[in-house]
């Protein structure tokens, strides 16, 4: 099972991606959607993530800063961040 988090400040993007991913494959599990990188970062220690799909331009913590903070705290797990910008 691939555990996925989605981070985007646009609610339609977050919800749309979550629906598409959930329908794509039963092995994909969207465990959370977040409106800002700070919200994800606050919950990160309790999550067992495999993939984070994140927008680059967001308030507070943008996608690049979030990637650096998240990657450094998850040394023991495989962790992929997919930055999204439109």
The Cβ of residue 10 has, within 10 Å, a number of other Cβ atoms equal to 12
Query: Can you give the pTM of this predicted structure?
Result: 0.75
pLDDT of residue 27: 95
- One digit per residue, the tens of pLDDT, for the chain of length 86 reads 899 999 888 999 999 999 999 999 999 999 999 988 888 888 887 888 888 888 776 766 665 566 666 655 554 455 555 666 65
Q: 79, exposed or middle or buried, with CB in 10 Å at 0-12, 13-18, 19+?
A: middle
The Cβ of residue 36 has, within 10 Å, a number of other Cβ atoms equal to 18
Using only the alpha carbons of the chain, give its radius of gyration: 12
Domains of the chain by start residue, with CATH = 2-84 (3.40.50.2300)
């Amino acid at each position: 099972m691939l555990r996925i988090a989605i981070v985007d400040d646009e609610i339609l993007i977050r919800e749309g991606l979550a629906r598409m991913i959930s329908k794509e494959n039963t092995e994909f599990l969207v465990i959370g959607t977040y409106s800002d990188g700070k919200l994800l970062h606050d919950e990160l220690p309790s999550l067992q993530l495999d993939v984070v799909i994140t927008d680059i331009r967001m308030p507070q913590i943008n996608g690049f800063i979030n990637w650096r903070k998240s990657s450094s705290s998850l040394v023991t797990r495989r962790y992929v961040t997919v930055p999204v910008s439109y």
